[in-house]
Amino acid sequence: MPSTIAEKVRPHLHLPDVQIAALLGLTLKAVGNARRSLLPNIRAGWTAEAKTWIIAQGKAGVSPMLLVAPLHEKFGITKTPNALIGMLYRAGVSVRFGRAGKRATSPRAPTSSPTPPASGTRLRSIYQLESNHCRWPIGDVGSKDFGFCPATSMSGRPYCEVHNAHAYQSPQPRRQAPNPQQEAA
């Protein structure tokens, strides 16, 4: 990857990948690659404390996308949403974006998602949506916190990489340790 992308991403490393992607008009993958190139120790981050916290959040139904910033703030650990999803799967936590027990099985399913937006993650209003923006709704429709995922959608898809993987995932994880990158393909 051209180092210029990494240089563009560098000043925004404290933000979640989705926000950086929206800000710079990059794909989540490009942001993730840039982050890895800037922080070579990204894979060596987990501590038992951080893992326990993430698993508790995942069990409570908090979207991994919204855990990236607090993980960084609380524990100084930088992970991509996909890395969090992978870790939760390996820990046996079924990652949900929707209501408990009601999983998204088709791209039209996620009409309401009670996942609260994390502070610092700015969601888009419906009036701000453009053709290349992720259509994943977050929060309860009508509430003041309701909005759409701030990431850029994958080309030809209504959702970003993370939400595309969730919209099209089967109800049960099929493999013991599925790789979210492959799920998204």
Q: Which is nearer to Zn ion, 96 or 163 (CB)?
A: 163
Cα separation, 69 vs 78, in Å, equals: 8
For Zn ion, the binding residues in 111-150 under the rule CB under 5 A are 134, 136, 149
Q: Which is nearer to Zn ion, 35 or 135 (CB)?
A: 135
Write out the two tokens for 61. 């139904």
Smallest separation (angstroms) from Zn ion to the CB of 131 = 14
Task: Give DSSP secondary structure letters for 164-180.
Answer: HHHHH--SS--SSS--H
Q: Which is nearer to Zn ion, 66 or 151 (CB)?
A: 151
Q: Which is nearer to Zn ion, 89 or 159 (CB)?
A: 159
Contact between 120 and 84 (Cβ < 8 Å): no
For Zn ion, the binding residues in 149-178 under the rule CB under 5 A are 149, 151, 160, 163
Cα separation, 160 vs 181, in Å, equals: 12
- Site membership for Zn ion, residue 8 (CB under 5 A): no
Task: State the DSSP code for 10.
Answer: G
Total chain residues near Zn ion (CB under 5 A): 6
Q: How far apart are the first and last CA of the chain?
A: 20
What residues line the site for Zn ion (CB under 5 A)?
134, 136, 149, 151, 160, 163
